[in-house]
Chain A
Amino acid sequence: MAAEYVPLRTKVVTKPFLVLAALALTGLFLIGYRYLAGLGAVTNLNDGYPWGLWIAYDVLVGTALGCGGYAMAILVYVFNRWEYHPLVRSAVLTSVLGYTLAAVAIFIDIGRYWNGYKLFLPWQVNLSSVLVEVALCIGAYVVVLWIEFLPTLLEKHREHPQAAVWLRRLNHALPVIAAVGILLPTMHQSSLGTLMVIAGGKLSPLWQTYLLPLFFLLSALAMGFAVTAVESIASSYFFGRPYETPMLAKLARVTAGVVAAYLVLRLADLLYRGAPVLSSGFLTGMFFLENLLYLVPLIFLVSPAAARDLRVIFLAGVALLLAGALYRFNVFLVGFSPGPGWRYFPAVPEIFITLGLISLELMAYLYFVKRYPVLPAEHG
């Protein structure tokens, strides 16, 4: 059998690539300005809303979109479903890029970045702080993801004698690397939810619960499966490659199971706490939008159409990504109220910095799939 993964070998610098490069440069310029003039100069962050778009999107949504590698690793290595293995590499690539940029975004966001290294000094950290767990786990996972991505880089240079040696070594260490690569996201994706428990009454009861860690974990898994499916369909479409239809149909059923578990638990928790679901005004609307974005794709994914029609899987996947993103925005921004008088909506430069980071991520993705063996080889 031929290689499982192949590079596309098409031109890297295309028109869309140049558009992305322009956005990335704009973002980098604004990031430079942020370091000269302070956070207030480029953001609408304030003492009531100290966390904004960069935390909610770049870190919370960005890492959840980066859970493709995590979700696929669970399927393949824990549930022994090797039929999904062809999807693993591109999932690991989106993960490595998503997490790396989230880590970069954190260093743009923190005000006293020159003290950032103190998070990694054991005698300095406060073990009661949920943020320590999140930071250390994300830091460690970025390293693990790059190790998981190394075989892809090494395979390109297979003829080099050292490459073969390292590939063999990596394969020996794979059980441990893969296990750590599953444990770390389980820990920090749930802890990202635990972060907001301490916001107490400042977070609306529609979202404030002890089960935040569980909901963040389940919704991250759902986003991981959804992003893998969406990315597989999109890359087949844009690069004119065959679709992985049977595999994606099976994956759709797994995704539906996770989403169903999430929704059942979410509803049970709301009923148990007697949350004011109907009487919270604007928040009620956002709550229903969020949960409809889970419920509607769930109905489509369990319908027989999902087994035949990739468009159904694609749209359901996109809806689930929006659902997970909206859930994160609701917990960190929309449902968060520090009191009367405070408001926040991201500033234009703030949005452009985020767009710049997303552009960098897409540029890196395009480069890697075209030059390195990432996408599944055409079989047939």
Chain B
Amino acid sequence: MAVSRRQFLKLAAGAGLCAGAGLSPQVARARPPVPRLPEAVGILYDATLCIGCKACMSACKEFNGLPPEHTDPRAIWDDPLDLSAKTVNIVKLYTHGTGLAKDREQDGYSYIRRFCMHCVDPACTSACPVGALHKDPRTGVVKYNPDVCIGCRYCQIACPYNIPKFQWDSPFPRIVKCQMCDHLQARGSYPACCRFCPTGASLFGEVRELLKEARRRLALKEGEPTWFPLRRVDSGSHTFRSAPAYLPHIYGEKDGGGAQVLMLANVPFTKLGLPVLGEDSIASHSETVYHALYKGMLLPYLVLSGLVYLVYRHTSKKDLP
């Protein structure tokens, strides 16, 4: 008995070392970052151009078949307080002090649009057990397939932006989120929010073009006369106006491992309700821990064979009841 226990301790120590090596991010190489897809499409939202008209909200509901929402029963207009299973795009407002100056943190205000960021390396698609949330291999749009969704809502736990919403009042509920008007893109069109934005605050295009455009804007001097594309980055139609002030940060360029929705503003993004995320995606952290333990099922098989050996040794000596 003493001998077998010593053998077990050896084995346990070995297994423990493997487990420890797997758990330690320094020893196990982290799951590498996911690169942007070359043909990824996205939306550039520029809060300084946004006038809060909510045309994007009504267009979004119309083209996605979503119902109006009455959070105040007396209201006679669509008045969602936040994203929900009925509202996948919303314009919110930041104010401070007198709230008079547009795009100023002090005594000013700023609009902010919130909808799915279509992450480069999404937490929701990493979390989804059945691939109901999945990234389009070409456009990178994060899409939902209700035919396989089991309704576990792990995507809601995982998403750092709290984007996926659930139909709590339905006996046959779905997850609801912005799919970048994938059904319109499929027939050569583009997202309704960008098509109906009167100022070019929401701009559709290939992400690499959008990134170029965002960098051009950040390089402008405040007050300098310039142009802003309308609807699509390659539409050819523009508005002309003087350049606003910008904070030098393209939210979504690197935040959370990067997103296909990029944002510009002159009020810090934390004040606009966006989370502070590192440059690694949260999915890469989770998958590093997970894959370290389960890569090729090596560790489980090793432990299993050790266990079978020990149990066999210990039971064969014993007269079992």
Interface on A for B, CB 8 Å cutoff? 3-5, 35-41, 45-48, 50-51, 76-80, 82, 85, 109-113, 115-116, 118-119, 124-126, 128-133, 135, 171, 174-176, 178-180, 182-183, 186-187, 190-191, 194-202, 210-214, 336, 338-339, 341
**Is B165 an interface residue, CB under 8 A from the partner?**
yes
A41 contacts which of B5, B169, B311 (Cβ < 8 Å)? Answer: B169
* Between-chain CB contacts (< 8 Å), 12 pairs: A47-B83, A78-B8, A78-B307, A111-B153, A115-B148, A176-B308, A197-B285, A197-B290, A199-B157, A200-B160, A202-B160, A211-B23
- State whether A118 touches B286 (Cβ < 8 A): no
Decide: A111 near B166, CB < 8 A? Known: A79-B5, A201-B160. yes
- State whether B158 touches A199 (Cβ < 8 A): yes
A109 to chain B: which residues have CB within 8 Å? 152
Expressed in whole angstroms, the minimum distance between the Cβ of A125 and any Cβ of chain B is 6
| Complex CA distance for A267 and B282, rounded to whole angstroms | 24
**Is B267 an interface residue, CB under 8 A from the partner?**
no
B71 to chain A: which residues have CB within 8 Å? none
| Complex CA distance for A171 and B129, rounded to whole angstroms | 36
Decide: A183 near B150, CB < 8 A? Known: A41-B169, A78-B310. no
Q: What does the 1/0 interface line of B205-236 toward A look like (CB < 8 Å)?
A: 00000000000000000000000000000000
B127 contacts which of A80, A130, A174, A186 (Cβ < 8 Å)? Answer: A130
Given contacts A41-B169, A194-B286, list 17 more A-B pairs with CB under 8 A: A36-B171, A47-B83, A47-B168, A50-B157, A80-B8, A112-B149, A115-B148, A125-B131, A128-B287, A178-B307, A182-B307, A195-B157, A198-B127, A198-B285, A199-B157, A201-B160, A201-B277
**Is B55 an interface residue, CB under 8 A from the partner?**
no
**Is B167 an interface residue, CB under 8 A from the partner?**
yes
Chain A interface, DSSP helix/strand/loop, else mixed: helix
Expressed in whole angstroms, the minimum distance between the Cβ of A111 and any Cβ of chain B is 3
- State whether A200 touches B123 (Cβ < 8 A): yes
| Complex CA distance for A77 and B149, rounded to whole angstroms | 40
- State whether B126 touches A129 (Cβ < 8 A): yes
- State whether B282 touches A198 (Cβ < 8 A): yes
Expressed in whole angstroms, the minimum distance between the Cβ of A159 and any Cβ of chain B is 17
- State whether B167 touches A5 (Cβ < 8 A): no
B77 to chain A: which residues have CB within 8 Å? none
| Complex CA distance for A51 and B127, rounded to whole angstroms | 14
B5 to chain A: which residues have CB within 8 Å? 79-80
B130 contacts which of A39, A118, A210 (Cβ < 8 Å)? Answer: A118
- State whether B166 touches A129 (Cβ < 8 A): no
